[in-house]
Structure 1
Amino acid sequence: MAIHKLDLGDFDEIDYLLVAIHTTLEDYRLAYLINQKLDINLSKNKDDIQVNSKEGEAKFSRFHHYNSDKTISWNLIQNRNEVFQEKKDSIQNLFSDTTLEVSTKVYLLPEFKKADYFLKIENNIEMIDLSIMKKLLNTIDSISTVYTVDINKIKSKNNLIF
């Protein structure tokens, strides 16, 4: 009987760029401004990215554009969100029947807590001039900084699979 061996080394290749964006803008406003600067058409994806953590289930907004001419996929992803949990007060007192709603911040990539959004660019990434793209994004007034994330330093890579 022959033994078949699968080599999964080809699947470990990283075929995307990840750009972190620091801004105070809302997601829809940021997507609009990126569309103007980069001449793409990011639109709200109906399926949010769901991540389960010890705090609870969090949903992160996602804007998507697929350029069929260059076969490049663009995703603007929210990095920070809040999870609300209801807690019952365990101490018996005058307010013992009240429930408290506690909010906890949850991150898509916890190792980059200061980044507000990520721009994930997939397929044919060699066609993109990253330095020009970062300069264009930095011209948006409400963006404080833009930088490329080293993919090898991300511990929670599975959150970027969607």
Structure 2
Amino acid sequence: MAVHKFILDDTFHEALYTLIAIHCRLEDYRLAYLLNKYLGTELKRKPSDLDFKQGKSSYSIYEWEDERQLIVWSLVSNICKTEEFQQRQYESLFDSKEKIIKTNYLLPEYKTVNYFLKIESEFSFSKEKYIVDSILKIPQIATAYSIDSSQLKSKDNLIFN
């Protein structure tokens, strides 16, 4: 009997995208507005946020599908703060639960980044540099830079669909 062997190495390719980290203190809607203004995009808030860990953490996401160039732009927050109640470790006269604010990160290896701009297309270095330079022209942004997605440990968190 003949043995048939399928080789799937060449069939599955990693998704090509550019990832830009953005450091700023702006609210997500304000940053989306400024990116639309400076980059000429049309980012709009998606009806539902990204949910991880069975709804324990959610991240706001703005998206624009550029049908002319077949590019999908996504602006997603990296930080999610949630309130949890925890029983106190010590006995007291008034037993009550203590409120704790936990911080979760979309990409834990980049805890200082506030937002990520994911552009689902592979750009040349000059086009990527142009986008980063345009973002840096926004006065409210402290810094922005490209991230090598092949070095990410938690790249599965960047799958939005």
Q: What TM-score do the two structures reach when normalised by structure 2?
A: 0.90
Match of 1:42 in 2: 43
Match of 1:136 in 2: 134
Match of 2:59 in 1: 60
Unpaired runs of at least 5, structure 2: none
Q: 1:123 to 1:130 in 2, by over 3 A?
A: closer
CA apart distance, 1:2: 5.1
Match of 1:20 in 2: 21
Match of 1:95 in 2: 94
1:75 paired with 2:99, answer no
Aligned length in residues: 159
CA contact (8 A) 1:72 1:124 kept: no
Q: What TM-score do the two structures reach when normalised by structure 1?
A: 0.90
CA contact (8 A) 2:18 2:122 kept: no
CA apart distance, 1:50: 1.4
Worse-superposed segment, 117-126 or 72-81? 117-126
Counterpart among 99, 103, 111 of residue 105 in structure 1: 103
Counterpart among 143, 148, 155 of residue 150 in structure 1: 148
Unpaired runs of at least 5, structure 1: none
d(CA) in 2 for partners of 1:145, 1:127: 18
d(CA) in 2 for partners of 1:32, 1:115: 19
d(CA) in 1 for partners of 2:122, 2:153: 24
